[in-house]
Amino acid sequence: MDIGERLFSLRAKTGETLQEVADKVGVSKAHVWELEKGRSKNPSFELVRKLAKHFGVTVEVLIGEADEPDQKQIEIARIYRGLEDLSDRDRAIVEQMIETMRFKKVADG
């Protein structure tokens, strides 16, 4: 599987449009489409790195040298990545909420 196929697969799993991905990594919608279709076969390392970071995967996953995560793993990585921008206090609140939900799940059976 080449980078275009991986990019399309990851974008499908996240439910994002070409424009949303393009906006997040700072390129045009057409450029993302060209990558997916294999018409642009030599993206810069910087772009590959940005795409990998955006999808919460390694560069190796994006270029096909490592297994692609499933949708659940991508969702978890995206949530985790979003925590980086929070303050220490807010991260602690999120952690406490997760623990509360885990406890409730165990209690509910």
Instruction: Output the pLDDT for position 97.
Output: 92
DSSP-derived secondary structure letter, 44: -
Supply angle C-alpha 68, 12, 79, rounded to 5: 70
Q: Is 90 exceeded by the pLDDT of residue 59?
A: yes
pLDDT in tens, 15-52: 999 999 999 999 999 999 999 999 987 899 999 999 99
pLDDT in tens, 61-95: 998 899 998 889 888 887 887 788 899 999 999 99
Alpha-carbon torsion, ordered 74, 17, 35, 68, to 10 deg: 20
Residues in the chain: 109
Helix (H) or strand (E) segment spanning residue 67: none
Q: CB neighbours of 68 closer than 8 A, spacing ≥ 6?
A: 1, 6, 9, 10, 57, 61
Q: What are the structural domains, with CATH classification, of the chain?
A: 3-69 (1.10.260.40), 72-108 (no CATH)
Longest dimension (CA), the chain: 53
